[in-house]
């Protein structure tokens, strides 16, 4: 082997060894950057004693609020630690409320996604008798929607069959400028923007705790808010049952 090739091989070996060392160092550094977001105490196992619930997160990079890893640790008095991993996001928080009505507080986790629609992700677990079970949360309402000629729009809530029509004539100038309408006629079939849950919070219903969700309905863009759809849910016989819906619109004129 020539002297030149020997030098090249030596340099390549040094490069890969250096790269491996840097990668290992970064891995250890990232591990050290795991943050404790909150610490709270609540009895979530049903033994009558408060457990320590700690939310931890790993920032995407130093100085940012976005957490690329989020997990909840439950530390029981018998020294057992149970870990719940959730999706990445912002501002993770936890509530303790008996949503499955078994007499023991459940673990309800909320994480902001940071998107323009203000969407939040939600997780629900029970730890009765130290057995972790995913109770899930209700799915958002399925809402069909469309713009109509004459600066109008309609939605139909599939879960209930209810339909609503909105008069959007006070936005005519804006819609004409964007090209959505041409002299009051819809340029092409266009659906509204229907978001997933922006909020999902525990509420008391009929002396039992349930969940209330809100979903935003927007027009040509997210800031073009048309309505907020509210839904109340109760956990019964192992599943979520829709109890009530309410449509709150941004215009004074609505036909049901």
More reliable by pLDDT, 71 or 116? 71
CATH architecture classification, 35-134: Beta Barrel (2.40)
Is pLDDT at 20 greater than 60 in this prediction? no
Read off the pTM: 0.83
pLDDT confidence of residue 114: 86
Coil/strand/helix, residue 1: coil
Reading the block at residue 131, the tokens are: 């057995």
Is pLDDT at 11 greater than 50 in this prediction? no
| Residues ≥6 apart with Cβ < 8 Å to 247 | 155, 164, 227, 228, 229, 230, 254, 256
Coil/strand/helix, residue 27: helix
Distance CA 198, CA 212 (A): 11
Is pLDDT at 216 greater than 90 in this prediction? yes
Residue pair 123/108 in contact by the 8 Å Cβ criterion: yes
Residue pair 106/125 in contact by the 8 Å Cβ criterion: yes
pLDDT in tens, 42-55: 999 999 999 999 99
Average model confidence (pLDDT) across the chain: 88
Contacts 24+ apart (CB under 8 A), 194-198: 194/143, 194/145, 194/155, 195/117, 195/118, 195/119, 195/140, 196/117, 196/119, 196/140, 197/119, 197/120, 197/122, 197/140, 198/117, 198/118, 198/119, 198/120
Is pLDDT at 233 greater than 50 in this prediction? yes
Coil/strand/helix, residue 180: coil
The residue ranges of every structural domain in the chain are 35-134, 143-255
Is pLDDT at 2 greater than 90 in this prediction? no
Residue pair 214/203 in contact by the 8 Å Cβ criterion: no
Instruction: Find which of 23-37, 45-59, 111-125 is predicted with most confidence, using mean pLDDT.
Output: 45-59
Sign of the CA dihedral with 179 first, then 182, 188, and 194 last? positive
pLDDT in tens, 52-107: 999 999 998 887 889 999 999 999 887 789 999 999 999 999 999 999 999 999 99
- How open is the CA angle 85-90-92, to the nearest 5 degrees? 50
The pLDDT of 195-213, averaged and rounded, is: 96
More reliable by pLDDT, 20 or 133? 133
pLDDT confidence of residue 239: 96
Is pLDDT at 126 greater than 50 in this prediction? yes
pLDDT confidence of residue 21: 47
pLDDT band at 251 (very low <50, low <70, confident <90, very high): low
pLDDT in tens, 148-200: 999 999 999 999 999 999 999 999 999 999 999 999 999 999 999 999 999 99
Strand 193-205 versus strand 208-218 pairing type:
antiparallel
Coil/strand/helix, residue 23: helix
């Amino acid at each position: 082997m020539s002297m030149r090739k020997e030098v090249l091989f030596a340099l390549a070996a040094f490069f890969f060894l250096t790269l491996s060392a840097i990668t290992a160092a970064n891995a250890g550094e990232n591990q050290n950057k795991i943050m404790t977001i909150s610490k709270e105490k609540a009895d979530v196992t049903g033994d009558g004693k408060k457990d320590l619930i700690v939310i931890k997160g790993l920032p995407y990079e130093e100085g940012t609020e976005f957490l690329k890893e989020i997990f909840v640790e439950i530390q029981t008095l018998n020294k057992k630690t149970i870990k719940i991993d959730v999706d990445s996001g912002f501002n993770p928080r936890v509530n303790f409320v008996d949503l499955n009505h078994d007499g023991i507080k459940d673990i309800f986790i909320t994480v902001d996604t940071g998107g323009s629609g203000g969407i939040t992700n939600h997780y629900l677990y029970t730890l009765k008798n130290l057995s972790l079970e995913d109770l899930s949360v209700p799915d958002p309402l399925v809402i069909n929607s469309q713009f109509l000629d004459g600066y109008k729009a309609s939605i139909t809530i599939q879960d209930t069959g209810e339909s609503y029509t909105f008069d959007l004539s006070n936005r005519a100038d804006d819609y004409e400028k964007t090209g959505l309408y041409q002299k009051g006629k819809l340029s092409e079939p266009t659906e509204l923007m229907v978001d997933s849950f922006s909020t999902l919070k525990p509420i008391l219903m009929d002396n039992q705790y349930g969940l209330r969700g809100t979903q935003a309905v927007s027009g040509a863009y997210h800031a073009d808010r048309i309505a907020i759809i509210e839904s109340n849910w109760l956990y019964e016989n192992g599943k979520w049952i829709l109890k009530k819906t309410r449509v709150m619109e941004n215009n004074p004129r609505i036909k049901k």
